[in-house]
Structure 1
Amino acid sequence: MRVWSLHPRYLDASGLVACWRETLLAQKVLRGLTRGYTKHPQLQRWREQAEPVEAIGAYLHFLHAEATARGYRFDASRIAVPPTNPDRWLGVMSVSEGQLALEREHLRAKLEARSPEALPRLDDVALPHPLFASVPGRVAAWERA
């Protein structure tokens, strides 16, 4: 499972679809609707939120917006708790610069292998997903580096 901390604009088509599907799975886990993946380390940061299902719904909202801007048709009705005010969620979760750097390099390797035409979109200092605010720090403790 990879729920990217990076802005979805950096993802190629395969990455965007995979992130959507994996985040829907994470949403299902957070709602208690599956027995698999319940101990997945990436879910820690969502569980730390006061409203984990709403937070992941906001994350999905921004993924959906990126997909729509690219002409893809992701089913927004799959978002269990869509945000009534998406702007309220801008930058509410923190992500360390170290985590962003690790994910940027991880994504760079994936793009080199499957979508080299998408590499120019990947900035040297990648922006976080709109839900996250970048803060100084190392790779997250939950990351399996």
Structure 2
Amino acid sequence: MRLWSLHPKYLDPQGLVALWREALLAQAVLCGQTRGYRNHPQLERFKNHSAPIAAISHYLKGVHEESRVREYSFDKSKIQPARKAVSLPVTTGQMAYEWTHLLAKLKARSPALYRKWQGLDVPDAHGIFTVCTGEVESWERP
């Protein structure tokens, strides 16, 4: 499971579809609808939020919005309602780690996107995240 801190616009088609499925799985875990993946490290930042279901819902809304930009047909009705606005922190170290990781995936899987993004030094974060100075997150498994 990879719940990217990066804005989903950087993902190739396979990556965006995988992110949608994995974020829906994360939502199911946080809602207590599945027993698998309950202790997955990628869920830690959502589980530690004061409103974890609202946090994953807003995350999914961001992924869904990117799917609309690409004219994909992700089913928005699968996202749990969230009335509370939320924000999560992400460190500059985590963003840099994920960017390197994504570029390696794109180089192997989507060379055209790799060439498009390789010169970008500071990528945008997913809209739910506020970037702050810091190292790679403690829950990351390098």
Query: Shared fold (TM-score greater than 0.5)?
Result: yes
State how far apart, in whole Å, the 2-side matches of 1:102 and 1:38 are: 24
Deviation at 1:49, TM superposition (A): 1.1
Gaps of 5+ in 1: none
Match of 2:117 in 1: 121
Total equivalences in the alignment? 140
Write out per-residue CA displacement over residues 91-118 of structure 1, whole angstroms, 9 at most, x where no aligned residue. x110000000000000001000111111
Normalising to structure 2: TM-score of the pair? Answer: 0.94
State how far apart, in whole Å, the 1-side matches of 2:69 and 2:125 are: 18
Structure 1 stretches of 4+ with a deviation exceeding 2 A read none
Normalising to structure 1: TM-score of the pair? Answer: 0.92
State how far apart, in whole Å, the 2-side matches of 1:8 and 1:125 are: 14
Of the structure 1 ranges 113-122 and 92-101, higher mean CA displacement relative to structure 2 is found in: 113-122
State how far apart, in whole Å, the 2-side matches of 1:9 and 1:2 are: 15
Match of 1:108 in 2: 103
State how far apart, in whole Å, the 1-side matches of 2:83 and 2:16 are: 23
Match of 1:6 in 2: 6
Gaps of 5+ in 2: none
Match of 1:48 in 2: 48
Write out per-residue CA displacement over residues 54-93 of structure 1, whole angstroms, 9 at most, x where no aligned residue. 1100000011001101111100011022x457xx44xx11
